[in-house]
Structure 1
Amino acid sequence: MNFPDFSLASFRKHPVVVGVVSSLEVLEALVASGSAPCDLVELRLDLIDRDDEILIPLAAGVKQPLLITLRDRLEGGSWRGVEQARLARYQRWATKARWFDIELRADHEAWLEYRAFADAANVHLIGSCHDFEQCPTLDEIRGLIARSRAVKADVFKLAALTTTDAGVEILERGLRLNHGDLPLCMIGMGARGPMSRVHLPLHGSCLTYGAIGETNAPGQPQAEDLVRALVDLHAGYAAWRSHRVGVSP
């Protein structure tokens, strides 16, 4: 059974667990297993490093909706191309995936093209920012949210270093800065990363990320552990998840 996609409106009711796939071997195993321990599968194309002619037919076997990411090397990824090349790859995936990630650092002209692509293909854009060295201040987070609105991203994502509970608290306070309908995702990395990825969805973070198999970020837990924790702690998520998969995890 293929699981249906979910709407942006659903983020007002419950979080969504993203399972990150970082290698061809994990993707092949995921397809062979027939199911993924998450709600949305992120394919890190910059890390999988295979031609789309191989990956697109293979990924058709994934039952969950797909998020496609070519993470820039400046934000922890391996992609070094120009924006036109990334846009061309995203266009090739538009019939298979409904979610695409672009760093907010991409220039405004590039974002105009991504937005035009998303509108034409009826897909969603996640505007992301990753800081592996520190946790931004509230004013900096406010600026990033404003940038996300300016480029018309559908979702704002911030992943930041959280070595102490104080960093997690800043991200939690950042979730309260949203006074409109832009869904916000805040996740921690580092020592308090695992805790943050359960705690912040309980306070409004629309997405939380965990690995499927090998990890690719400091403090990244397994996606299936996030699902179990949120089923126990978030009534709205538990009800949605139970209805979606037919049984509780």
Structure 2
Amino acid sequence: MICVPITEDNVEDAVKTANSIDCDIVEIRLDYLEDASKIDFLAKIKKPKIATCMPKWEGGRFGGGEEERIDILLSAIDFCQYVSIELGTSEKLRGDVVKKAKEKGVKVIVSYHDFKSTPSRDEIIKILKDEETAGADIAKAAFIPESASDVRKIMSVIGDKHIWIPVIVIAMGELGRMSRARSLLMGSYLTFASSGKGKESAPGQMSVQEIRETLKWLKK
């Protein structure tokens, strides 16, 4: 699946972009919105949705308190098919999100982002396993590679026998750019693509058109 993060700063533009972009699923970046309290706007978005409210400490934009952030996510669960919560969130607050999501039949993505480096392969596996233990239906991990071997290491965990749930594994930045398309062919649950230039939510993110063109080239 190709997922487009919606990075608009107001709900009107967020709804318009989400409904017009040609993709399989959208990630609603609630941390980008000037006012994310009126969450019922999500009902106007017809595509499958991932609700995300990423805090500044994980590379996002939400600067409020943790309880406020979790309240936003808990409200969003009523309108979405997926909710994404960071592994670094306190166990209690993360548990509140997981509990409500499971009750509502909403799939949980537990995520981890490292915008500085790439750990060992064993550590990547441990992170994904920790996410599974935390209640993830889908485990997500994103890293900044410092070499081509780092990219290969990140991609190599897709399909690892020690991980029993679907994974989203991302090599960010320019070094990992091509792997964003290649990961889909290797079995990653989805890949993220921007709605257009200047709308990227992470370094190295391709546009939807670029992802599709790259996939065609890789399949030749």
> What residue identity is the alignment partner of 1:45?
L
Compared CA separation, residues 36 and 79, structure 1 to 2 (3 A): same
Identify which range, 65-74 or 31-40, moves more after superposition: 31-40
- Which of 94, 103, 121 matches 2:77? 94
- Which of 113, 120, 127 matches 1:137? 120
Once the two structures are superposed, residues 60-119 of structure 1 have per-residue CA deviations (whole angstroms, 9 ceiling, x without a partner) of 332311111111211211123344322321222223211111111112222322221111
1:220 aligned partner = 205
- Which of 12, 18, 23 matches 2:3? 18
Partner of 1:162, secondary structure, is: coil
Report the Cα offset of residue 232 of structure 1: 6.2
* Contact 1:163 1:190 (C-alpha < 8 Å) held by counterparts: no
- Which of 40, 45, 50 matches 1:67? 50
2:87 aligned partner = 104
TM norm structure 1: 0.78
Unaligned runs of 5+ residues in structure 1 are 1-15, 236-249
- Which of 123, 126, 149 matches 2:106? 123
1:56 aligned partner = 40
> What residue identity is the alignment partner of 2:207?
Q
1:40 aligned partner = 25
| CA distance, structure 2, for counterparts of residue 41 and residue 89 of structure 1 | 17
TM norm structure 2: 0.87
1:9 aligned partner = none
* Contact 2:115 2:143 (C-alpha < 8 Å) held by counterparts: yes
Compared CA separation, residues 110 and 61, structure 1 to 2 (3 A): closer
> What residue identity is the alignment partner of 1:85?
E
* Contact 1:130 1:158 (C-alpha < 8 Å) held by counterparts: yes
Consecutive aligned runs of 4 or more in structure 1 exceeding 4 Å deviation: 231-235
- 1:145-160 equivalence runs, <5 A: 145-160=128-143
1:187 aligned partner = 170
| CA distance, structure 2, for counterparts of residue 28 and residue 179 of structure 1 | 42
| CA distance, structure 2, for counterparts of residue 23 and residue 168 of structure 1 | 30
Unaligned runs of 5+ residues in structure 2 are none
| CA distance, structure 1, for counterparts of residue 60 and residue 137 of structure 2 | 22
Report the Cα offset of residue 36 of structure 1: 1.9
Partner of 1:182, secondary structure, is: coil
The total of aligned residue pairs comes to 218
1:238 aligned partner = none
> What residue identity is the alignment partner of 2:102?
D
Greater RCO (Cα-Cα under 8 Å, separation 6 or more): 1
1:200 aligned partner = 183
